[in-house]
Amino acid sequence: MSEGKHRRTKIVATIGPATRTPERMRELIEAGADLFRLNFSHGTREDHAANVEMAREAAKETGKEIGILGDLPGPKLRIGDVENGIVGLRPGSEIVLQTSPILGTEERLSVSFSELPEAVQPGGEIYMADGRIRLRVDETTKDEVRCTVEVGGRVASHQGINLPGAGSTLPAAGREDLEWVDFAVKQGIDLLAVSFVRRAEDLDPVVRRVRTSGSDIPVIAKIEKPEATDRAEEIIRAVTAGVMIARGDLGIELPIEKVPLVQRRLLALAGKYSVPTITATQMLASMVASPRPTRAEVSDVANAIFQGTDAVMLSEETAIGEHPAEAVRVMDRIARATEPDLPYGDWVFTRARTDQRDVANSVARAAVGSTYTLGLAALVVPTNSGRTARLVSAHRPKVPVLAVSPNLSTVRRLNALFGVQCVIAEQWSGITPLLESCAQLAKQAGIAKSGDLIGITAGLPQQELGTNLFEVHRVP
Protein backbone atom coordinates (compact mmCIF):
# COMPACT_ATOMS: atom_id res chain seq x y z
CA MET A 1 0.00 0.00 0.00
CA SER A 2 1.24 3.49 -0.78
CA GLU A 3 1.85 5.89 2.08
CA GLY A 4 -0.94 8.12 0.80
CA LYS A 5 -3.72 5.57 1.10
CA HIS A 6 -4.32 6.40 4.75
CA ARG A 7 -4.83 10.05 5.66
CA ARG A 8 -2.81 11.03 8.73
CA THR A 9 -4.78 14.08 9.92
CA LYS A 10 -7.95 13.03 11.74
CA ILE A 11 -11.39 14.53 11.10
CA VAL A 12 -13.96 15.24 13.82
CA ALA A 13 -17.57 15.66 12.66
CA THR A 14 -20.23 17.16 14.94
CA ILE A 15 -23.56 15.34 14.96
CA GLY A 16 -26.69 17.49 14.85
CA PRO A 17 -30.11 17.74 13.19
CA ALA A 18 -28.58 17.32 9.73
CA THR A 19 -26.88 14.04 10.62
CA ARG A 20 -28.97 12.38 13.32
CA THR A 21 -29.74 9.16 11.44
CA PRO A 22 -27.69 5.98 10.97
CA GLU A 23 -27.65 6.60 7.22
CA ARG A 24 -26.21 10.12 7.54
CA MET A 25 -23.67 8.94 10.11
CA ARG A 26 -22.63 6.11 7.81
CA GLU A 27 -22.13 8.66 5.03
CA LEU A 28 -19.87 10.73 7.30
CA ILE A 29 -17.74 7.69 8.17
CA GLU A 30 -17.48 6.64 4.52
CA ALA A 31 -16.51 10.23 3.63
CA GLY A 32 -13.64 10.07 6.12
CA ALA A 33 -14.83 11.04 9.63
CA ASP A 34 -12.72 9.50 12.41
CA LEU A 35 -14.59 10.84 15.44
CA PHE A 36 -18.11 12.05 16.09
CA ARG A 37 -18.59 15.00 18.43
CA LEU A 38 -21.76 15.20 20.50
CA ASN A 39 -22.38 18.75 21.71
CA PHE A 40 -24.12 18.37 25.08
CA SER A 41 -25.08 22.06 25.00
CA HIS A 42 -27.83 21.08 22.57
CA GLY A 43 -30.22 18.16 22.89
CA THR A 44 -31.45 16.00 25.74
CA ARG A 45 -29.87 12.93 27.26
CA GLU A 46 -32.39 10.85 25.34
CA ASP A 47 -31.30 12.54 22.10
CA HIS A 48 -27.64 11.84 22.74
CA ALA A 49 -28.24 8.28 23.91
CA ALA A 50 -29.91 7.73 20.55
CA ASN A 51 -26.93 9.41 18.85
CA VAL A 52 -24.52 7.00 20.53
CA GLU A 53 -26.60 4.01 19.51
CA MET A 54 -26.83 5.21 15.90
CA ALA A 55 -23.10 5.97 15.79
CA ARG A 56 -22.22 2.48 16.98
CA GLU A 57 -24.65 1.01 14.44
CA ALA A 58 -23.10 3.06 11.62
CA ALA A 59 -19.60 2.05 12.72
CA LYS A 60 -20.56 -1.61 12.67
CA GLU A 61 -22.01 -1.29 9.17
CA THR A 62 -18.88 0.38 7.82
CA GLY A 63 -16.41 -1.83 9.69
CA LYS A 64 -14.66 1.19 11.24
CA GLU A 65 -14.62 1.78 14.99
CA ILE A 66 -15.53 5.45 15.16
CA GLY A 67 -14.60 7.38 18.31
CA ILE A 68 -17.23 9.47 20.12
CA LEU A 69 -16.27 12.76 21.77
CA GLY A 70 -18.68 14.22 24.31
CA ASP A 71 -18.42 18.01 24.62
CA LEU A 72 -19.56 19.25 28.05
CA PRO A 73 -21.74 22.39 28.06
CA GLY A 74 -19.74 24.42 30.55
CA PRO A 75 -21.25 27.37 32.43
CA LYS A 76 -24.72 28.44 31.36
CA LEU A 77 -24.03 31.69 29.54
CA ARG A 78 -26.89 31.10 27.14
CA ILE A 79 -30.13 32.67 26.00
CA GLY A 80 -33.38 30.90 26.82
CA ASP A 81 -36.15 29.71 24.54
CA VAL A 82 -37.20 32.09 21.76
CA GLU A 83 -40.38 32.28 19.68
CA ASN A 84 -40.43 29.65 16.93
CA GLY A 85 -36.85 28.71 17.82
CA ILE A 86 -35.24 31.69 16.01
CA VAL A 87 -35.67 35.46 16.18
CA GLY A 88 -34.02 38.22 14.17
CA LEU A 89 -32.29 41.20 15.80
CA ARG A 90 -32.22 44.39 13.69
CA PRO A 91 -29.18 46.73 13.76
CA GLY A 92 -29.98 49.88 15.73
CA SER A 93 -32.87 48.34 17.64
CA GLU A 94 -33.05 48.04 21.41
CA ILE A 95 -33.00 44.67 23.17
CA VAL A 96 -33.42 43.79 26.84
CA LEU A 97 -31.67 40.77 28.34
CA GLN A 98 -33.34 39.63 31.54
CA THR A 99 -32.35 36.96 34.04
CA SER A 100 -35.90 35.67 34.64
CA PRO A 101 -37.29 33.15 32.12
CA ILE A 102 -39.54 34.30 29.27
CA LEU A 103 -40.17 33.23 25.70
CA GLY A 104 -37.73 35.43 23.81
CA THR A 105 -38.66 37.97 21.13
CA GLU A 106 -36.72 40.51 19.08
CA GLU A 107 -37.28 43.00 21.89
CA ARG A 108 -36.54 40.90 24.96
CA LEU A 109 -34.53 37.72 25.62
CA SER A 110 -33.97 35.71 28.76
CA VAL A 111 -30.49 34.59 29.78
CA SER A 112 -29.51 31.73 32.07
CA PHE A 113 -26.69 33.70 33.73
CA SER A 114 -28.11 35.38 36.85
CA GLU A 115 -24.90 37.44 37.34
CA LEU A 116 -25.09 39.07 33.91
CA PRO A 117 -26.05 42.57 35.19
CA GLU A 118 -23.05 42.53 37.54
CA ALA A 119 -20.69 41.08 34.92
CA VAL A 120 -21.10 43.87 32.34
CA GLN A 121 -20.84 47.66 32.35
CA PRO A 122 -22.45 50.39 30.20
CA GLY A 123 -20.41 50.71 27.02
CA GLY A 124 -19.35 47.06 27.15
CA GLU A 125 -19.98 44.51 24.42
CA ILE A 126 -22.01 41.30 24.41
CA TYR A 127 -21.70 38.79 21.57
CA MET A 128 -24.13 36.09 20.47
CA ALA A 129 -24.32 33.43 17.75
CA ASP A 130 -20.58 32.65 17.78
CA GLY A 131 -19.74 36.35 17.59
CA ARG A 132 -21.90 37.17 14.57
CA ILE A 133 -24.18 39.44 16.62
CA ARG A 134 -22.84 42.33 18.71
CA LEU A 135 -24.77 44.22 21.37
CA ARG A 136 -23.63 47.40 23.13
CA VAL A 137 -24.63 47.70 26.79
CA ASP A 138 -26.57 50.89 27.54
CA GLU A 139 -27.83 50.35 31.08
CA THR A 140 -27.97 47.67 33.77
CA THR A 141 -30.47 47.11 36.59
CA LYS A 142 -30.75 44.39 39.22
CA ASP A 143 -32.04 41.78 36.78
CA GLU A 144 -31.88 43.38 33.32
CA VAL A 145 -29.34 44.59 30.78
CA ARG A 146 -30.55 47.08 28.16
CA CYS A 147 -28.58 47.04 24.94
CA THR A 148 -28.43 48.43 21.41
CA VAL A 149 -27.99 45.96 18.56
CA GLU A 150 -24.87 47.09 16.69
CA VAL A 151 -24.53 44.05 14.43
CA GLY A 152 -27.75 42.17 13.86
CA GLY A 153 -28.72 38.71 12.74
CA ARG A 154 -30.66 35.65 13.83
CA VAL A 155 -30.36 34.03 17.25
CA ALA A 156 -31.69 30.60 18.18
CA SER A 157 -32.84 29.10 21.45
CA HIS A 158 -30.02 28.20 23.86
CA GLN A 159 -27.22 29.80 21.85
CA GLY A 160 -24.20 30.94 23.81
CA ILE A 161 -23.28 34.41 25.02
CA ASN A 162 -19.74 35.83 25.13
CA LEU A 163 -18.69 38.65 27.43
CA PRO A 164 -15.19 39.77 26.36
CA GLY A 165 -13.17 41.10 29.26
CA ALA A 166 -15.84 40.35 31.85
CA GLY A 167 -14.75 38.28 34.80
CA SER A 168 -16.84 35.39 36.02
CA THR A 169 -16.79 33.16 39.07
CA LEU A 170 -18.60 30.38 37.27
CA PRO A 171 -16.89 26.97 37.61
CA ALA A 172 -15.72 25.24 34.42
CA ALA A 173 -17.71 22.16 35.42
CA GLY A 174 -20.89 22.71 37.42
CA ARG A 175 -23.55 20.27 38.59
CA GLU A 176 -25.06 19.85 35.13
CA ASP A 177 -21.67 19.10 33.59
CA LEU A 178 -20.98 16.42 36.17
CA GLU A 179 -24.36 14.85 35.41
CA TRP A 180 -23.32 14.78 31.75
CA VAL A 181 -20.11 13.03 32.85
CA ASP A 182 -22.25 10.33 34.48
CA PHE A 183 -24.20 10.05 31.23
CA ALA A 184 -20.97 9.74 29.22
CA VAL A 185 -19.71 6.94 31.47
CA LYS A 186 -22.99 5.07 31.22
CA GLN A 187 -23.06 5.40 27.42
CA GLY A 188 -19.44 4.34 26.96
CA ILE A 189 -18.40 7.60 25.31
CA ASP A 190 -14.71 7.57 24.37
CA LEU A 191 -13.45 11.11 25.07
CA LEU A 192 -14.72 14.12 27.05
CA ALA A 193 -14.02 17.79 26.30
CA VAL A 194 -14.21 20.27 29.19
CA SER A 195 -15.45 23.75 28.29
CA PHE A 196 -14.55 27.09 29.90
CA VAL A 197 -11.13 25.88 31.14
CA ARG A 198 -9.13 28.79 32.55
CA ARG A 199 -6.51 26.93 34.62
CA ALA A 200 -5.31 23.36 35.02
CA GLU A 201 -7.32 22.71 38.18
CA ASP A 202 -10.57 23.39 36.27
CA LEU A 203 -10.17 19.87 34.89
CA ASP A 204 -10.05 18.23 38.32
CA PRO A 205 -13.81 17.92 39.04
CA VAL A 206 -14.40 16.14 35.74
CA VAL A 207 -11.42 13.82 36.16
CA ARG A 208 -12.54 12.95 39.71
CA ARG A 209 -16.11 12.26 38.58
CA VAL A 210 -14.88 10.00 35.78
CA ARG A 211 -12.62 8.05 38.14
CA THR A 212 -15.18 7.70 40.94
CA SER A 213 -17.60 6.37 38.33
CA GLY A 214 -15.14 3.57 37.66
CA SER A 215 -14.21 4.83 34.20
CA ASP A 216 -10.99 5.94 32.51
CA ILE A 217 -12.45 8.27 29.84
CA PRO A 218 -9.63 10.66 28.82
CA VAL A 219 -10.34 14.36 29.30
CA ILE A 220 -9.60 17.07 26.72
CA ALA A 221 -9.19 20.74 27.69
CA LYS A 222 -10.95 23.26 25.46
CA ILE A 223 -8.89 26.42 25.06
CA GLU A 224 -11.46 29.15 24.45
CA LYS A 225 -10.78 31.80 27.11
CA PRO A 226 -7.99 34.40 27.35
CA GLU A 227 -7.09 33.09 30.81
CA ALA A 228 -6.46 29.68 29.27
CA THR A 229 -4.08 31.09 26.68
CA ASP A 230 -2.16 32.84 29.47
CA ARG A 231 -1.85 29.53 31.34
CA ALA A 232 -1.60 27.34 28.26
CA GLU A 233 1.58 25.52 29.29
CA GLU A 234 0.28 24.48 32.70
CA ILE A 235 -3.01 23.29 31.15
CA ILE A 236 -1.25 21.33 28.42
CA ARG A 237 1.08 19.70 30.94
CA ALA A 238 -1.93 18.68 33.04
CA VAL A 239 -3.66 16.76 30.24
CA THR A 240 -2.46 13.90 28.10
CA ALA A 241 -5.68 13.22 26.20
CA GLY A 242 -5.47 16.48 24.30
CA VAL A 243 -6.50 20.11 23.89
CA MET A 244 -9.11 21.60 21.60
CA ILE A 245 -8.34 25.04 20.18
CA ALA A 246 -11.80 26.64 19.96
CA ARG A 247 -11.03 29.52 17.63
CA GLY A 248 -14.61 30.78 17.48
CA ASP A 249 -14.76 31.75 21.14
CA LEU A 250 -11.11 32.84 21.15
CA GLY A 251 -11.90 35.21 18.29
CA ILE A 252 -14.55 36.88 20.43
CA GLU A 253 -12.69 36.93 23.71
CA LEU A 254 -9.38 38.10 22.13
CA PRO A 255 -8.65 40.63 19.40
CA ILE A 256 -9.41 38.60 16.30
CA GLU A 257 -6.04 39.34 14.69
CA LYS A 258 -4.31 37.50 17.56
CA VAL A 259 -6.10 34.18 17.02
CA PRO A 260 -3.70 32.84 14.34
CA LEU A 261 -0.73 33.58 16.61
CA VAL A 262 -2.42 31.91 19.57
CA GLN A 263 -3.25 28.86 17.46
CA ARG A 264 0.34 28.49 16.29
CA ARG A 265 1.68 28.86 19.84
CA LEU A 266 -0.79 26.35 21.30
CA LEU A 267 -0.05 23.76 18.61
CA ALA A 268 3.69 24.15 19.20
CA LEU A 269 3.29 23.85 22.98
CA ALA A 270 1.12 20.76 22.68
CA GLY A 271 3.65 19.20 20.34
CA LYS A 272 6.43 19.90 22.81
CA TYR A 273 4.61 17.90 25.51
CA SER A 274 3.34 15.15 23.16
CA VAL A 275 -0.27 16.20 23.71
CA PRO A 276 -2.77 15.63 20.86
CA THR A 277 -4.63 18.61 19.43
CA ILE A 278 -7.95 19.34 17.74
CA THR A 279 -8.25 22.61 15.81
CA ALA A 280 -11.89 23.64 15.80
CA THR A 281 -14.59 26.11 14.77
CA GLN A 282 -15.54 27.67 11.45
CA MET A 283 -12.94 25.75 9.46
CA LEU A 284 -15.27 25.32 6.46
CA ALA A 285 -18.08 27.58 7.70
CA SER A 286 -19.27 28.58 4.23
CA MET A 287 -20.15 24.91 3.59
CA VAL A 288 -23.08 25.21 5.99
CA ALA A 289 -24.91 26.50 2.91
CA SER A 290 -22.48 26.09 0.00
CA PRO A 291 -21.25 22.85 -1.58
CA ARG A 292 -17.76 24.39 -1.92
CA PRO A 293 -15.57 26.13 0.65
CA THR A 294 -13.81 29.44 0.12
CA ARG A 295 -10.14 29.45 -0.85
CA ALA A 296 -9.37 31.14 2.46
CA GLU A 297 -11.01 28.27 4.37
CA VAL A 298 -8.98 25.70 2.46
CA SER A 299 -5.82 27.61 3.35
CA ASP A 300 -6.93 27.79 6.99
CA VAL A 301 -7.33 24.01 7.24
CA ALA A 302 -4.00 23.41 5.51
CA ASN A 303 -2.28 25.92 7.78
CA ALA A 304 -3.47 24.09 10.91
CA ILE A 305 -2.06 20.86 9.46
CA PHE A 306 1.24 22.54 8.61
CA GLN A 307 1.40 23.77 12.22
CA GLY A 308 1.06 20.21 13.53
CA THR A 309 -2.56 19.68 14.54
CA ASP A 310 -3.63 16.06 15.06
CA ALA A 311 -7.24 16.63 14.06
CA VAL A 312 -9.46 19.22 12.39
CA MET A 313 -13.08 19.63 13.41
CA LEU A 314 -16.34 20.40 11.63
CA SER A 315 -19.07 21.98 13.77
CA GLU A 316 -22.11 23.58 12.12
CA GLU A 317 -20.93 22.20 8.77
CA THR A 318 -22.03 18.69 9.75
CA ALA A 319 -24.47 19.50 12.57
CA ILE A 320 -26.89 21.73 10.64
CA GLY A 321 -25.23 22.15 7.25
CA GLU A 322 -26.75 21.34 3.89
CA HIS A 323 -23.71 19.34 2.71
CA PRO A 324 -22.36 17.44 5.74
CA ALA A 325 -20.74 14.49 3.96
CA GLU A 326 -19.23 16.74 1.29
CA ALA A 327 -17.69 18.91 4.03
CA VAL A 328 -15.93 15.81 5.36
CA ARG A 329 -14.79 14.84 1.86
CA VAL A 330 -13.39 18.35 1.30
CA MET A 331 -11.52 18.17 4.62
CA ASP A 332 -10.16 14.78 3.59
CA ARG A 333 -8.88 16.11 0.25
CA ILE A 334 -7.22 19.14 1.86
CA ALA A 335 -5.41 16.94 4.36
CA ARG A 336 -4.21 14.46 1.73
CA ALA A 337 -2.90 17.29 -0.43
CA THR A 338 -1.13 18.98 2.48
CA GLU A 339 0.45 16.03 4.30
CA PRO A 340 3.17 15.15 1.75
CA ASP A 341 4.80 18.56 2.36
CA LEU A 342 5.00 18.29 6.16
CA PRO A 343 8.54 18.46 7.65
CA TYR A 344 8.53 14.89 8.99
CA GLY A 345 12.32 14.56 9.07
CA ASP A 346 12.72 17.73 11.13
CA TRP A 347 9.81 16.97 13.45
CA VAL A 348 11.40 13.68 14.56
CA PHE A 349 13.96 15.62 16.57
CA THR A 350 12.40 19.06 17.08
CA ARG A 351 8.69 18.65 17.73
CA ALA A 352 8.40 16.78 21.04
CA ARG A 353 10.84 17.33 23.85
CA THR A 354 12.79 14.50 25.49
CA ASP A 355 15.32 14.39 28.31
CA GLN A 356 17.70 11.80 29.72
CA ARG A 357 15.21 10.62 32.33
CA ASP A 358 12.34 10.23 29.86
CA VAL A 359 12.76 6.63 28.74
CA ALA A 360 9.39 6.34 27.03
CA ASN A 361 9.71 9.44 24.86
CA SER A 362 13.32 8.67 24.00
CA VAL A 363 12.42 5.16 22.83
CA ALA A 364 9.49 6.52 20.81
CA ARG A 365 11.74 9.07 19.12
CA ALA A 366 14.40 6.43 18.42
CA ALA A 367 11.76 4.21 16.84
CA VAL A 368 10.59 7.01 14.54
CA GLY A 369 14.17 8.00 13.69
CA SER A 370 14.94 4.39 12.74
CA THR A 371 12.33 4.50 10.01
CA TYR A 372 14.82 6.74 8.15
CA THR A 373 18.14 5.12 9.08
CA LEU A 374 16.93 1.53 8.60
CA GLY A 375 14.33 2.07 5.90
CA LEU A 376 11.51 0.58 7.97
CA ALA A 377 8.26 0.09 6.08
CA ALA A 378 6.03 0.74 9.08
CA LEU A 379 5.81 0.97 12.86
CA VAL A 380 3.57 -1.37 14.85
CA VAL A 381 2.64 -0.31 18.37
CA PRO A 382 1.05 -2.82 20.77
CA THR A 383 -0.68 -0.80 23.48
CA ASN A 384 -3.22 -1.26 26.24
CA SER A 385 -3.87 2.36 27.21
CA GLY A 386 -2.76 4.09 24.01
CA ARG A 387 0.15 5.97 25.64
CA THR A 388 2.86 4.41 23.49
CA ALA A 389 0.92 5.25 20.32
CA ARG A 390 0.53 8.83 21.52
CA LEU A 391 4.29 9.22 22.06
CA VAL A 392 5.12 7.72 18.67
CA SER A 393 2.54 9.92 16.96
CA ALA A 394 3.99 13.03 18.62
CA HIS A 395 7.25 12.55 16.68
CA ARG A 396 5.26 12.48 13.43
CA PRO A 397 6.56 9.39 11.60
CA LYS A 398 6.20 9.49 7.84
CA VAL A 399 5.66 5.74 7.52
CA PRO A 400 2.33 4.11 8.44
CA VAL A 401 1.75 3.49 12.17
CA LEU A 402 -0.46 0.59 13.23
CA ALA A 403 -1.53 0.52 16.87
CA VAL A 404 -2.89 -2.82 18.07
CA SER A 405 -4.80 -3.13 21.31
CA PRO A 406 -6.94 -5.70 23.10
CA ASN A 407 -9.12 -2.86 24.42
CA LEU A 408 -11.96 -1.65 22.22
CA SER A 409 -12.10 1.69 24.06
CA THR A 410 -8.42 2.27 23.25
CA VAL A 411 -8.99 1.47 19.58
CA ARG A 412 -11.75 4.09 19.41
CA ARG A 413 -9.78 6.75 21.30
CA LEU A 414 -6.73 6.40 19.07
CA ASN A 415 -8.79 7.81 16.21
CA ALA A 416 -7.75 11.22 17.57
CA LEU A 417 -4.00 10.67 16.94
CA PHE A 418 -2.20 11.92 13.85
CA GLY A 419 -0.98 9.14 11.59
CA VAL A 420 -2.21 6.23 13.72
CA GLN A 421 -4.44 3.44 12.47
CA CYS A 422 -5.68 1.03 15.09
CA VAL A 423 -7.01 -2.51 15.14
CA ILE A 424 -8.20 -4.72 17.94
CA ALA A 425 -6.16 -7.82 18.81
CA GLU A 426 -6.12 -10.51 21.46
CA GLN A 427 -4.03 -10.09 24.60
CA TRP A 428 -0.53 -11.54 24.13
CA SER A 429 0.95 -14.21 26.38
CA GLY A 430 4.58 -13.21 25.84
CA ILE A 431 7.13 -11.34 23.73
CA THR A 432 7.46 -13.92 20.93
CA PRO A 433 3.70 -14.21 20.26
CA LEU A 434 3.48 -10.41 20.40
CA LEU A 435 6.18 -9.91 17.75
CA GLU A 436 4.75 -12.58 15.48
CA SER A 437 1.25 -11.19 15.82
CA CYS A 438 2.41 -7.63 15.03
CA ALA A 439 4.10 -8.80 11.83
CA GLN A 440 0.97 -10.61 10.68
CA LEU A 441 -1.26 -7.65 11.52
CA ALA A 442 1.02 -5.34 9.53
CA LYS A 443 0.60 -7.62 6.50
CA GLN A 444 -3.16 -7.84 6.96
CA ALA A 445 -3.43 -4.04 7.21
CA GLY A 446 -1.45 -3.70 3.97
CA ILE A 447 1.26 -1.52 5.46
CA ALA A 448 4.06 -4.10 5.03
CA LYS A 449 4.76 -7.17 2.91
CA SER A 450 6.91 -10.26 3.32
CA GLY A 451 10.60 -9.33 3.53
CA ASP A 452 9.98 -5.77 4.77
CA LEU A 453 11.55 -4.51 7.96
CA ILE A 454 9.13 -3.07 10.49
CA GLY A 455 9.66 -1.49 13.89
CA ILE A 456 7.71 -2.71 16.91
CA THR A 457 7.66 -0.53 20.00
CA ALA A 458 5.79 -1.15 23.24
CA GLY A 459 5.92 -0.85 27.00
CA LEU A 460 6.69 -3.90 29.15
CA PRO A 461 4.70 -3.26 32.34
CA GLN A 462 6.99 -5.31 34.58
CA GLN A 463 9.78 -2.80 33.96
CA GLU A 464 7.63 0.16 35.06
CA LEU A 465 9.40 2.40 32.54
CA GLY A 466 6.54 3.02 30.13
CA THR A 467 7.54 2.58 26.49
CA ASN A 468 10.80 0.64 26.76
CA LEU A 469 10.86 -1.92 23.94
CA PHE A 470 11.96 -1.35 20.35
CA GLU A 471 12.41 -4.36 18.07
CA VAL A 472 13.29 -4.41 14.37
CA HIS A 473 11.47 -7.34 12.82
CA ARG A 474 11.51 -8.80 9.31
CA VAL A 475 8.03 -9.67 8.11
CA PRO A 476 7.91 -13.39 7.23
Strands 191-194, 161-162: parallel, antiparallel or unpaired by DSSP?
unpaired
Same domain membership, residue 349 and residue 334:
no
Judge whether 78 lies within some domain. Answer: no
222 is catalytic: yes
The reply to whether 352 falls in a domain is yes
Residue 216 lies in a domain: yes
Q: Are residues 48 and 131 in the same domain?
A: no
**Residues 386 and 320 placed together within one structural domain of the fold:** no
Do 262 and 200 share a structural domain?
Answer: yes
Q: pLDDT confidence of 168, banded at 50, 70, 90? A: low
Q: Are residues 454 and 417 in the same domain?
A: yes
Query: Which residues fall within 8 angstroms of residue 250, CB to CB, at 6 or more apart?
Result: 223, 224, 225, 226, 229, 259, 262
| Residue type at position 431 | I
pLDDT at 463 over 80: no
Label the pairing between strands 191-194 and 67-71: parallel
Determine, yes or no, domain membership for 437. yes
Give residue 14's pLDDT.
98
Q: b/e for 36-64, b at 16 or more Cβ within 10 A?
A: bbbbbbbbeeeebeebbebbbebbeebee
Is the residue at 167 inside a domain? no
Q: Is the pLDDT at 4 greater than 70, yes or no?
A: no
pLDDT given for residue 2 in this prediction: 37
CATH number for the domain spanning 120: value is 2.40.33.10
> To 10 degrees, the CA torsion angle through 233, 237, 238, 239?
110
55 inside domain: yes
Mean pLDDT of the chain: 92
How confident is the model over 372-389, as pLDDT tens digits? 999 999 999 999 899 999
Distance CA 259, CA 271 (A): 18
Phi/psi at 2 (nearest 5 deg)? -70, 155
Is 211 designated active site? no
Q: Which is the catalytic residue, given 26, 78, 198, 396?
A: 78
Which of 162, 196, 220 finishes a domain? 162
CATH of the domain at 449: 3.40.1380.20
Say whether both 87 and 53 belong to one domain.
no
The last residue of a domain, from among 286, 311, 338? 338
What is the total count of domains within the chain?
3
324 in a domain, yes or no? yes
Q: Is 413 a catalytic residue?
A: no
199 is catalytic: no
Residues 8, 88 within the same domain: no
Same domain flag for 333 and 374: no
What is the predicted pLDDT for the residue at 3? 43
pLDDT for the residue numbered 49: 98
Residues 333 and 197 in one domain: yes
CA separation, residue 260 to residues 12, 254, 279 (Å):
20, 11, 11
Residue 294 shares a structural domain with residue 423? no
Give the domain CATH number at 323. 3.20.20.60
Q: Which range has the worst mean pLDDT, 343-347, 425-429, 467-471?
A: 425-429
Q: What is the pLDDT of residue 466?
A: 62
pLDDT of residue 77: 80
Residue 206 shares a structural domain with residue 329:
yes
In this structure, the answer to whether residues 50 and 132 fall within a common structural domain is no
**Which of 338, 363, 392 is at the close of a domain?**
338
pLDDT of residue 213: 94
Per annotation, catalytic residue among 7, 8, 24, 37: 37
Helix (H) or strand (E) holding 244: strand 243-246
Reported as type and span, the H/E element at residue 318 is: helix 316-319
In a domain, 49, yes or no: yes
Q: What is the pLDDT of residues 289-319, one digit of tens each?
A: 999 999 999 999 999 999 999 999 999 999 9
Mean pLDDT of 395-411: 95
What residue numbers bound the domain in which 435 lies?
344-474
Q: Which of 140, 277, 281, 371 is catalytic?
A: 281
Identified catalytic residue from 7, 10, 209, 222:
222
Q: What number is the average pLDDT over the span 354-359?
A: 78
Reported pTM: 0.90
With a cut of 50, say whether residue 222 has pLDDT above it: yes
Mean pLDDT, to the nearest integer, of 30-41? 96
Backbone angles phi, psi at 387, to 5 degrees: -65, -45
